[in-house]
Amino acid sequence: MNTTNLDAIPRDRLPALLQAMPKAELHIHIEGSLEPELIFALAKRNGVSLPYPSVEALRAAYAFTDLQSFLDIYYAGASVLLKEEDFFDMAMAYFQRAKADNVVHAELFFDPQTHTDRGVPFATVIDGLVRACETAQRELGISALLIMCFLRHLSEEAAFETLEQALPHRDKFVGVGLDSGERGNPPEKFARVFARCRELGLHLVAHAGEEGPAAYISTALDVLKVERIDHGVRCVEDPALVKRLAAERVPLTVCPLSNVKLCVYGTMADHNLATLLADGLCVTVNSDDPAYFGGYMNQNFLETFAALPQLGPREAHQLAANSFEASFVDEARKQAWRAELDRVFAAV
C-alpha cells in the first residue's frame, strides 16, 4: 500500500485496527496457553490432584517475581497433560482464541521434556498437537507450525535424547528452540545439538536476552546460528549488537505482557519495544504464555500501544508486516498476508 497514508489514520481508530489487522504469532508456548479452568477440567478427567483447591486459588498464585517463579507454576500446570486428547484440546483452545484476535498464522513452541520426563510418550504429545494444527487449518483457516524446544536447565545430553525421540516425527515440526531458565544456561551449552539440528535442515531459534545478558543474544547468533531471537530485549545493553540486529533484520519475538509480568520491566511504559522498532529492528509482538501473563495477542498489542505514545498506525502496520516477514513460510504466503494487511488498513 501507499504507506504515506498511514500517518493520516486518526489515532482513535488504533484499537479497532490493532484488533482487525491480520497477524502472525511466533512466540507462544502452547503449554502456556493452558487456562486454569482447563487445567482443572483435565485434572478431573485424568484423576490428577493439584496443589490448589480451586481455579481462583490457582489464578491467585500467578504473581511472579521473575522467570523462575513463573516456570515453577507453569511446569506444575502442565502435569495434567497425559493423553493425546489433552494436547489436542489445549491447542484447540489456543487456536479459538487466536482466531478471535485475527491471528492468521501461529508457530507453536512445545516442551517435550516436560512431558516425556513424566512418562508421557513423545508421540502422544506431538500427535495431539499435529491433529490440532490440521483442525485449525481446516476449520478456522489458521495455518500453524510446530517448534520443539529444549529445556536449557537440563543437559545437552538430555536434549540429544529428546532429538533422538523426535526423529521418527521429523516431518511434524519445522524447527527447534531453547527455553526455560536462562540465567546460567548460555546458548553455547547447546552448541552440538543445535549443529546437529542445523544439519537436519531444521529452523533454529532460541530465547536470549530476556533475563540473560546481551552476550547470550550474540552467542545464540554466532554459536547456535539461530534465525530468530525470542525476546532479545536486553540487546540494548550492547549498542553494536543493536546495529547488527537492525542491519541483518534478525527478528526479535518480543512479548510485552510477559516482560512486565516477569518484572523484566516495571511497567509497560518502560518497555523498549517502540525504541527497537524505531531503530529498524524486525520486532514482532507475541503472547509467550497468554494464560499466565494476562492476555493473548490483541491484549498485548492494545496494552503496548496504550502505554507507548511513539506507537501509532504506521507502527501497527510495521509490526504485523514484521510478523509475516519473520515467519517460516514461503514468500507467496507472506505476500498474500501482506496484501490482506494492506486491505484492512486501506478500509479504515
DSSP structural state of residue 139: I
Residue 247 buriedness (CB in 10 A; 0-12 / 13-18 / 19+): exposed
7 is an annotated ligand-binding site residue: no
Task: Pick one of 25, 35, 107, 179: the residue that binds ligand HPA (CB under 6 A).
Answer: 179
Catalytic residues, by residue number, are 210
Task: Note whether 258 and 296 are within 8 A (CB).
Answer: no
Cβ proximity to ligand HPA: between 74 and 87 the closer is 74
| Binding flag, residue 67, ligand HPA (CB under 6 A) | yes
| Binding flag, residue 210, ligand HPA (CB under 6 A) | yes
Task: Note whether 185 and 147 are within 8 A (CB).
Answer: no
What's the CA gap between 130 and 30, in Å, rounded?
A: 12
What's the CA gap between 250 and 246, in Å, rounded?
A: 7
Q: What are the backbone dihedrals phi and psi of residue 292, each rounded to the nearest 5 degrees, phi first?
A: -105, -20
Residue 210 binds: one of ligand HPA, Zn ion, none (C-beta under 5 to 8 A by kind): ligand HPA
| Binding flag, residue 288, ligand HPA (CB under 6 A) | yes
Q: Smallest distance from the beta carbon of 258 to ligand HPA, in angstroms?
A: 5
C-alpha cell at 69: 517463579
29 is an annotated ligand-binding site residue: yes
| Binding flag, residue 295, ligand HPA (CB under 6 A) | no
| Binding flag, residue 112, ligand HPA (CB under 6 A) | no
Would you tell me which residues interact with Zn ion (CB under 5 A)?
A: 288
Residues binding ligand HPA: number (CB under 6 A) = 11
Q: Show contacts with ligand HPA in window 25-44 (CB under 6 A).
A: 29, 32
Element (DSSP H or E) covering residue 305: helix 297-307
Compute CA 153 distance to the chain's CA centroid, rounded to the nearest angstrom. Answer: 19
288 is an annotated ligand-binding site residue: yes
What's the CA gap between 81 and 46, in Å, rounded?
A: 8
| Angle between helical axes of 122-135 and 156-166 (0-180°, round to 10) | 60
What's the CA gap between 113 and 119, in Å, rounded?
A: 10
27 is an annotated ligand-binding site residue: yes
Q: Smallest distance from the beta carbon of 348 to ligand HPA, in angstroms?
A: 33
| Binding flag, residue 180, ligand HPA (CB under 6 A) | yes
Beta pairing partners, 260: none
Cβ proximity to Zn ion: between 182 and 315 the closer is 182
Cβ proximity to ligand HPA: between 110 and 305 the closer is 110
**Binding site, annotated residues for Zn(2+):** 27, 29, 207, 288
**Binding site, annotated residues:** 27, 29, 207, 288-289
Tell me which residues touch ligand HPA (CB under 6 A).
Answer: 29, 32, 67, 74, 179-180, 207, 210, 258, 288-289
**Binding site, annotated residues for substrate:** 289
